[in-house]
């Protein structure tokens, strides 16, 4: 990699660097997993100083050079770092992670008040999901104050193929890796504008989900209303209308 390209790689990765440096108060913070601490230290040094050689990285990090060499090899394999010749820089994986984390936080922040209102009005749990590869991740939850509920914790990783939230994330994203089967199935969901499921993700749980789209039609996430089958099933149309309206309000605020 030329010097200009290395500097460009560093500039391209500034959002990742900002996330890394902001999320850790000190390079010397430690955990019980020493090798992880050292790997994070290397990433933090590169985030702050830009492209470095192995020798320079060892000097600035305080990590032994042989250890730096081994860790860099592993981090390069995972695209967390990039190495060309003697130069080590931040890798594209950090940019992807920073983008995903930022998008999830922004979406959740905008959706928070809307989802709280929907949960209060319907008396059911409301979740916000975003796709991560072949899974979906819950980034925000609002639950009713009382009664039996469908509790999904923030950060929960669920399959795309089970539940209305996953169906919406696949139907409105033709590039979703888990999308298989008859295209007509996905077209029906898109035309209807929402999806429902009865006992797909968990026995006794039902849900209705709608896509959160920006004004250009780009899929941002899935807003899901869920609860016990006996409460959700008789109210499918009502809850579908609530989910679609809430998802539309969130999308309009993000445009």
Q: How many angstroms separate the CA atoms of 100 and 137, rounded?
A: 11
Domain boundaries 100-254, corresponding CATH code: 3.30.450.40
Confirm whether 3-90 and 100-254 share one CATH topology. Answer: no
Q: Kindly state the percentage of the chain with pLDDT values over 70.
A: 78
Inform me whether the pLDDT recorded for 197 exceeds 70: yes
Q: Taking residues 47-53, what's their average pLDDT?
A: 91
| 3-state DSSP percent of the chain in helix, strand and coil, to 5 | 50, 20, 30
The pLDDT-based confidence of 246 (bands split at 50, 70, 90) is: very high
pLDDT at 19 exceeding the cut of 80: no
Can you tell me the mean pLDDT for 188-197? 95
Domain 3-90 has CATH 3.40.50.2300: no
- Residue 250: both structure tokens together: 């969130």
pLDDT recorded at residue 214:
86
Position 97 scores a pLDDT of: 73
Q: Is the pLDDT assigned to residue 28 strictly greater than 80?
A: no
The confidence score (pLDDT) of residue 133 equals: 83
Q: For residue 1, what pLDDT is reported?
A: 45
Partner residues linked to 82 by β-bridges: 89
Tens of pLDDT, residue by residue over 115-163, are 999 999 999 999 999 988 888 999 899 998 876 666 788 888 898 888 9
Angle at 193 between CA 189 and CA 194, to 5 degrees: 70
Crossing angle of helices 65-77 and 34-49, in 10° steps, is 80
Q: What is the pLDDT of residue 105?
A: 62
Residue 23 pLDDT greater than 80, yes or no: no
User: Average pLDDT of the chain?
Assistant: 83
Confidence of residue 65 (pLDDT cuts 50, 70, 90): very high
Q: Give domain limits for the chain.
A: 3-90, 100-254
The pLDDT tens digits for 72-122 are: 999 999 989 999 889 999 987 886 676 566 555 688 889 999 999 999 999
Q: Which of 91, 106, 100 is nearest to 51 (CA)?
A: 91
Give the residue with greater pLDDT, 18 vs 133: 133
């Amino acid at each position: 990699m030329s010097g200009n390209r290395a500097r460009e790689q560093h500039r391209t990765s500034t959002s990742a660097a900002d996330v890394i440096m902001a999320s850790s108060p000190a390079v010397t913070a430690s955990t019980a997993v020493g090798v992880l601490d050292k790997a994070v230290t290397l990433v933090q040094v590169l985030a702050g100083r830009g492209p470095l050689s192995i020798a320079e990285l060892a000097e600035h990090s305080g990590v032994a050079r042989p250890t730096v060499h081994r860790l860099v090899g592993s981090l390069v394999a995972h695209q967390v770092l990039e190495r060309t010749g003697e130069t080590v820089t931040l890798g594209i994986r950090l940019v992807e992670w920073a983008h995903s984390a930022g998008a999830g936080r922004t979406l959740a922040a905008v959706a928070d008040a809307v989802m709280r209102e929907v949960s209060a009005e319907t008396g059911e749990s409301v979740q916000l999901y975003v796709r991560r590869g072949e899974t979906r991740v819950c980034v925000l939850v609002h639950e009713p104050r009382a009664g039996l509920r469908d509790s999904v914790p923030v950060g929960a990783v669920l399959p795309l193929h089970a539940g209305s939230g996953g169906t919406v994330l696949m139907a409105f994203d033709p590039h979703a890796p888990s999308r298989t089967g008859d295209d007509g199935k996905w077209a029906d969901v898109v035309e209807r504008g929402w999806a429902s499921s009865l006992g797909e993700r968990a026995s006794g749980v039902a849900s209705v989900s709608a896509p959160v789209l920006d004004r250009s039609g780009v899929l941002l996430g899935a807003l899901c209303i869920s609860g016990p089958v006996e409460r959700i099933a008789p109210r499918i149309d009502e809850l579908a209308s609530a989910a679609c309206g809430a998802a539309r309000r969130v999308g309009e605020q993000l445009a």
